[in-house]
Amino acid sequence: MSTVNAIAAPSATEPLVRTTVERRAVGPRDVLIEIRYAGICHSDIHTVRGDWGKVPYPLTVGHEIVGQVTEVGAEVTRHSIGDRVGVGCMVNSCRECDNCKAGEEQYCLKGMVGTYAGTDRDGSVTQGGYSTHIVVDEDFVLRVPEAIAYETAAPLLCAGITTYSPLAHWKAGPGRNVAVVGMGGLGHMAVKIAAAMGAEVTVLSQTLGKKDDGLAFGAAHYYATSDPATFEKLANTFDLIINTVSAPIDMGAYLRLLRLDGTLVAVGAPPEPLPVQVFALFGARRSFAGSSIGGIAETQEMLDFCAEHGISAQVEVISADEVNEAYERVLKSDVRYRFVIDIDTLR
Ligand SMILES: [Zn+2]
Ligand SMILES: [Zn+2]
């Protein structure tokens, strides 16, 4: 065991504080990572504030982790000391169920082990990436290509894969019309990735405030959803809509933007159930679907894809002492487009 510096939430209502967490001794198949940067995901905030149910405190969150390997167990074959690596939203799964065997560990039938607030195999609570070091089974550690800087790579481990996976699954590519709803941390990655895949990308955002950024990220079109004319103009247009917004939306209005056999995929999670107008589905054999992160192999594929296409997250780097302020800004959508904590400021 080792004690390492971290930032943790003492409770659902108090600000995050500097503290320490325990990391297990490096086992035969474990990798010790010296963390360099950790992204701030909206899920971190929902989790520490108890929005998604009870969690154990104190809790260190963070599942957009990049750093360098500083120690490997005797049986580790995939990673070496000095490698640039990343860890995303999960650190283990059963590896035996049908979904794990299919490389879809995120849908493990016994439940994947979350990077934080999960129950590790030894029964301890997992603690996330707002800390100086983490010990992770080698199979859940990704290679971060040299072409992507550490700080802009961090958000790929959640925001990147969360959008890449549905874009790949529903075949965004040349000749396909893809809309991205919301231009936040997830949305900006969805635009970059879908454009790099060759799709014609449209951003649907509340206002035109981020239009220049959206077009620079690769979108061909940008519309304000506050303007009702948008929904008339774009009816029956898209093969795929990726909804990154976690606030409730008018499902019927968005479904009607899909053309025949189109699919609306939810990757943001509103806390309340969404009413779906079934007639909007009937109208053009439309589908409403959901998607959660991606498997380990697919996450590696995403990182390699981003390196090959020269894309990564647009980030604002902050120090360890600015995390509480950053949380308030995320809640106000006042970030372009992801906060990333410089973990050197925590040492
Ligand atoms: Zn996340
Ligand atoms: Zn499994």
Taking only the tens place, the pLDDT of each residue in 186-216 is 999 999 999 999 999 999 999 999 999 999 9
Question: Residue 99 Cα, ligand 2 centroid: separation in angstroms?
Answer: 6
CA of 107 to the centre of ligand 2 (A): 7
Q: b or e along 4-17 (b: 16 or more beta carbons within 10 Å of the residue's beta carbon)? A: bbbbbbeeeeeebe
The candidate with the shortest Cα–Cα distance to 156, out of 2, 310, 324, is 310
If you measure from the C-alpha of residue 159 to the centroid of ligand 1, how many angstroms do you get, rounded to a whole number?
6
For the residues 228-250, what does the mean pLDDT come to?
Answer: 96
Residues around ligand 2, an ion, CB closer than 5 A? 93-94, 97, 100, 108
Distance 113 CA to ligand 2 centre (A): 10
Checking if the pLDDT of 17 tops 90, the result is yes
CA 134 / ligand 2 centre spacing (Å): 23
Query: What are residue 258's phi and psi, to 5 degrees?
Result: -80, 140
Give residue 26 CA to ligand 2 midpoint distance, Å. 23
Per-residue pLDDT, 69: 98
The beta-carbon contacts of 253-256 under 8 Å, at least 24 apart in sequence, are: 254/181, 254/204, 255/280, 255/281, 255/283, 255/286, 255/288, 256/231, 256/280, 256/283
Residue 103 CA to ligand 2 centre (angstroms): 9
pLDDT of the residue at 261: 98
pLDDT digits (tens, 9 = 90+) for 93-131: 999 999 999 999 999 999 999 999 999 877 899 999 999
Read off the tokens for 287. Answer: 């589908």
- pLDDT the model gives residue 146: 97
Ligand with an atom nearest the CA of residue 292 = 1
C-alpha 63/C-alpha 58 separation (Å) is 16
Dump pLDDT digits (tens) for 293-332.
Answer: 999 999 999 999 999 999 999 999 999 999 999 999 999 9
* Mean per-residue pLDDT, 231-259: 96
Cα separation values, 66 from 10, 69, 148, 340, Å:
24, 10, 11, 10
* Ordered DSSP codes for 313-337: --EEEE-GGGHHHHHHHHHTT-SSS
Token pair recorded at residue 199: 């799709």
Q: How big is the chain by its Cα radius of gyration, in Å?
A: 20
Q: Retrieve residue 166's tokens.
A: 């549905």
Report which secondary-structure segment, H or E, holds 121: none
Ligand in nearest proximity to the CA of 102: 2
Paired residues of 68 in beta bridges: 34, 84
Least distant ligand from the CA of 47: 1
How large is the average pLDDT for residues 74-81?
98
Ligand number, closest to the Cα atom of 184 = 1
In this prediction, residue 1 carries a pLDDT of 87
State mean pLDDT over 135-141: 98
CA distance 250 to 237: 17
Q: How far is the CA of 139 from the centre of ligand 2 (A)?
A: 13
Percentage of the chain with pLDDT > 90?
93
- Summarize pLDDT for 29-71 with one digit per residue, the tens: 999 999 999 999 999 999 999 988 899 999 999 999 999 999 9
Average pLDDT, the chain: 97
H-state helical runs in 81-227: 98-101, 150-153, 159-169, 185-197, 211-217
| Ligand sitting nearest the alpha carbon of 109 | 2
d(CA 49, CA 15): 10
Ligand of minimum distance to the alpha carbon of 269: 1
pTM of the model: 0.97
Residues 6+ apart with CB under 8 A from 100: 93, 94, 108, 109
The Å distance, Cα 94 to ligand 2 centre, comes to 4
Task: Give the distance, in angstroms, between the CA of residue 331 and the centroid of all CA atoms in the same chain.
Answer: 16
Query: Which residues are within 8 A (CB) of 283 and not within 5 positions of it... i.e. 6 or more apart?
Result: 255, 256
What are the beta bridge partners of residue 2? 23
Residues 259-283 pLDDT 10s: 999 999 999 888 788 899 899 999 9
In the 8-state DSSP scheme, what is residue 310? Answer: T
State in Å: Cα 339 to ligand 1 middle: 12
Q: Which of 119, 217, 245, 216 is closest to 254 using CA atoms?
A: 245
For the CA of 40, the nearest ligand: 1
- Ligand with an atom nearest the CA of residue 186: 1
Residue 264, beta-bridge partner list = 241, 288
User: How far is ligand 1, taken at its centre, from the CA of residue 228, in Å?
Assistant: 31
Instruction: Determine the distance separating the centroid of ligand 2 and the alpha carbon of 175, expressed in angstroms.
Output: 36
In this prediction, residue 246 carries a pLDDT of: 86
| pLDDT for residue 316 | 98
| Ligand 2 center to 78 CA (angstroms) | 21
Q: Of all helices (H) and strands (E), which one includes residue 84?
A: strand 84-87
